[in-house]
Structure formats: C-alpha cells, structure tokens
Structure 1
C-alpha cells in the first residue's frame, strides 16, 4: 500500500474533500436537471423569459371563459384609458 499503509492527515483531508466535491457535484447535477425539466424555473428550459402584459392576462381570462365579452371589452377599455365612466 502507499506510504507503507500509513495514512497521514493530509491524505485523509484530500480524500474527504474529493468525496465532498464528487457527491456535491452529483447532487447539484441532479437538482439542475430536475429543475430544468419541469418548466417551472425562471431561466431554464421551457420557461418564459417575459412576464405577460395586462392585455395578455385579460385575453387569457377571456379565452378560458372566466369573464364574458362585455367584461373583457370594459376591462380592456379601462386598461387603455378609453373608459367612458364618469
């Protein structure tokens, strides 16, 4: 065996650091791949880079049926400052 089978403090320290680097890197890789694959992260794969505009949110709500056409038109007018309310 190396050094006649006698392990010094330097040897144990080097082995410990290498194992921590290995397992830490492996865990970090797994976490990165899991976050990149689920589409919920803010910068990874499948994530939208921009937040939706108020018009887009309003159009999505109308498309999902959460609001009717009259409500859509009224809210869009308010957003654009063309509302005729007193």
Structure 2
C-alpha cells in the first residue's frame, strides 16, 4: 500500500481550486479600470448634473475645442 495516496488526493483538490479560480474570477473588476475621462466628458457630466448652465457649457466647450 502506498503511503502517499492522501497527498495525491490533496493535489487534485489544489488543481481543482486553481481551475475554478481561473475560470470563475470576474474579468471586469471595477477598480482595475484606469480610464480617465476627457475634459469634454467631465464637462458633459457636470452639465447633465446641473452643476453648470447651458451658457457655461457652450462657452467651455468652445474653449476646449479651440485648444485642439
């Protein structure tokens, strides 16, 4: 009788856990996203939230577009 039979079983468990971890871990983790918003995106968000008026939005948009 082999004394390492239990160790063989443990290795199968380790491989199973490893494969489950690889295939079922979420690939879209929010904190890994490092995309920065462009100034125009920030301006649009501020306008949508009501932080700035339409006139301020249009003026700022013209300034941003003139820098390109």
TM over 0.5: yes
Does 2:54 align with 1:69? yes
Q: How many residues align?
A: 66
Aligned Cα RMSD in Å? 3.2
Q: Which segments of 5 or more consecutive residues in structure 2 lack a partner in the other structure?
A: none
Which 4+ stretches in 1 moved above 3 angstroms?
Answer: 27-30, 39-43
Structure 1 residues 29 and 41: alpha-carbon distance in aligned structure 2, compared to 1, 3 A threshold = farther
Q: Which segments of 5 or more consecutive residues in structure 1 lack a partner in the other structure?
A: 1-5, 44-49
Q: Which structure exhibits the higher relative contact order, with contacts defined as CA atoms closer than 8 Å and separated by 6 or more residues?
A: 2
Higher helix content, 1 or 2: 2
Q: TM-score, normalised by structure 1?
A: 0.48
Rg (Cα) greater in structure: 1
